[in-house]
Amino acid sequence: MKPDPEADTRSLEHLIAAAARGDHACFAEVYERTHLHLFGVAVRILGQGQAAEDVLQEAYVSIWKNAGGYRSEVDGQTLQAMTWLIAIVRNKALDALRARTRRRESELPESGDIDEDDIQSTGHPAPSAMQLLEQASQALHIEGCMNALDGSHRQSLALAYYQGLSHTEVAAHMGAPLGSVKAWIRRGLEKLKGCLAAQGVVA
Amino acid sequence: MKYTNPELLEHLASSYVLGTLAGGARRRFERLQRDRADVRVRVAQWEARLGHLAASVPALQPSAQVWKAIASRTQPAASTVAADASARGLLGWLKPAGFGFGGLAAGVLAASLLFVTAPGVFLSSDQVAMRTGEKLPQSYVGLLTDAQGKGKLLVSSLRHGKTMTVKVLSPITAPASGTLMLWALPASGPAFALGPVPVAGSAVSMLPDTSEKLLSSVSKLVVTLETDPAPAAPSATLVFSGNCAKLW
């Protein structure tokens, strides 16, 4: 089969390997293909605003600098490029979220003091974290399996993953005891693992 | 804790990837991950599992500034190529005009003119300095001219230093009475004196603080003729003036 010269069929893995060798055009292509999705991930956690854009910037600079460290196999375990990219962005977003929370906790609120981040992050836009989990489950064909879990298990997992909430924050959001939330999330993760394995989705 | 229990390791790895493992437990787990290949495998597996969940997150468009910032931080080569080309062009113009200040002065002059006229180009001061044959450290620099535009004084100070050098470039007629005083004019706020000005040669003096602290928002330097030995503000008799530029 003749390769179509117009279509860019280079995989993300190959583009990252080329970026690791200093090929900036390939790095730009990685950005082109992935930044919309990764920005979405950052915004889910940080809300719209400068913080999410800063995280995206830091993430891609890190991707450029550490492209040489990406291996499609880690100690015998396959690691897809997109998984690696998502992990970088998500971890930076979580770090930024934690830093913001710490800052707020240590500052005395002043009347009339408007925090830009506050305005952007309150009230998450539809779809909700729960809906995102349902959509992802459907796409993975594990919806039926995951629905065996109580709604509270799925919701707590969804809040932790999509919004980056801590155990304490999930408990506050759901008005549930901290101990219960910890158990629900742990159970939710175990169930996710089992459902994916049953579907033959490569872990 | 020996961390051999697979259930415990799974719990830690999944919590770590999810983001709910915090504080000391997180740091301990990171150390564990560095030391143990089996733990790294578990983490990679959980990254893959949870990574699948990200597929449903709606895509969003960031502002164009993001890529510009990423590109400038990951591809510095592009900006130094532009700086080189412009430096060659401007220096080529300067030499035939025969400023005749000598190597160092010409280099500093060229660099500070470049900064003033095309700041976007002045991205790599090292590149420009090397083009002129001089490798210059980060400094504040000012070239003061008289009313006819003739170069009279060169003022320079290392960015983080307190020593200021004032060099006379072309003969200054000593005033019959009074002293010539050098002033810094900040963007906002009152002018402050930097010190008296020699009429020949070079004078080195100590600034009350580092250049960075004193001059970072100063755009202009002037020399006035003062009759008061310790004036609070510049007199109306302006003798020389020039821009204060950042040589980096």
Specify whether the CB–CB gap between A174 and A160 falls below 8 A.
no
Q: Choose the weakest-confidence range: A83-92, A139-148, B82-91.
A: B82-91
- Residues A112-132: tens digit of each pLDDT: 555 544 444 445 566 899 999
What is the CATH T-level fold of the domain A9-123, as seen in this structure? Rna Polymerase Sigma Factor; Chain: A (1.10.1740)
List, in sequence order, every residue forming a beta bridge with B205; answer none if it has no partner.
B164
Structure tokens that stand for B136 in this block: 């210059």
- Tell me: pLDDT of A18 over 90: yes
Q: Looking at the partner chain, which of B20, B41, B57 has a beta carbon nearest the beta carbon of A40?
A: B57
pLDDT at residue B82 in the model: 47
pLDDT at A152 over 50: yes
C-beta of residue A133 within 8 angstroms of C-beta of residue B54: no
Q: How far is A74 from chain B (nearest CA, A)?
A: 7
CA distance A65 to B99: 45
The answer regarding whether domain B137-248 maps to CATH 3.40.190.10 reads no
The residue in chain A having the minimum alpha-carbon distance to the alpha carbon of residue B42 is A77
Distance from the Cα of A123 to chain B's closest Cα (Å) equals: 16
Domain A126-203 carries which CATH code?
1.10.10.10
More confident: A42 or B3: A42
Across the range A124-152, mean pLDDT stands at: 92
Question: In this predicted model, which residue has the larger pLDDT, A133 or B206?
Answer: A133
Q: How much is the pLDDT for B163?
A: 74
Question: For chain A, what are the domain ranges?
Answer: 9-123, 126-203
Tokens of B238: 């302006």
Q: Quote the ipTM score.
A: 0.89
Least confident of A20-24, A194-198, B22-26, B99-103: B99-103
- In single-letter form, the type of residue at position A25 comes to A
Question: What confidence score (pLDDT) does residue A202 get?
Answer: 66
Surface of B (9-28) touching A: CB under 8 A: 10-11, 14-15, 17-20, 22
pLDDT exceeds 80 at position A80: yes
User: Of B15, B60, B70, which has the smallest distance from its Cβ to A40's Cβ?
Assistant: B60
Using the predicted structure, report yes or no on whether residue A165 has a pLDDT greater than 90.
yes
Which range of A5-19, A123-137, A175-189 scores highest in mean pLDDT? It is A175-189
Most confident of A73-82, A102-111, B37-46, B71-80: B37-46
Nearest in space to A96 (alpha carbons), one of A121, A119, A113, A114: A121
Is residue B141 within 8 Å of B111, Cβ to Cβ? yes
Q: Which residues on A lie below 8 Å from B38 (Cβ)?
A: 75
Looking at per-residue pLDDT, the higher value among B147 and A138 belongs to A138
Which carries the bigger pLDDT value, residue B99 or residue A200? A200
Return the SS3 of A84.
helix
Is A31 within 8 Å of B67 when comparing Cβ atoms?
Answer: yes
Average pLDDT over residues A11-27: 94
* Spans of all domains in chain B: 6-53, 77-136, 137-248
Write out chain B's pLDDT in tens, 248 residues.
678 899 999 999 999 999 999 889 999 999 999 999 999 999 999 999 999 999 999 999 999 999 999 999 998 655 544 444 445 554 444 444 444 444 445 555 555 554 455 544 544 555 555 555 556 678 888 888 888 888 888 898 887 777 788 888 888 887 878 888 898 888 778 888 888 888 888 877 778 777 888 888 888 898 888 888 778 888 878 888 888 888 87
Q: What is the pTM of this model?
A: 0.60
Query: What span, in angstroms and rounded, lies between the C-alpha atoms of B92 and B127?
Result: 16
Segment B23-28 long-range contacts (CB within 8 Å, at least 24 positions apart): none
Burial-class residue B247 by CB neighbours within 10 Å (0-12, 13-18, 19+): buried
The pLDDT value recorded for residue A1 is: 53
Which residues of chain B have a CB within 8 Å of the CB of A73?
Answer: none
Q: For chain A, give the mean pLDDT.
A: 88
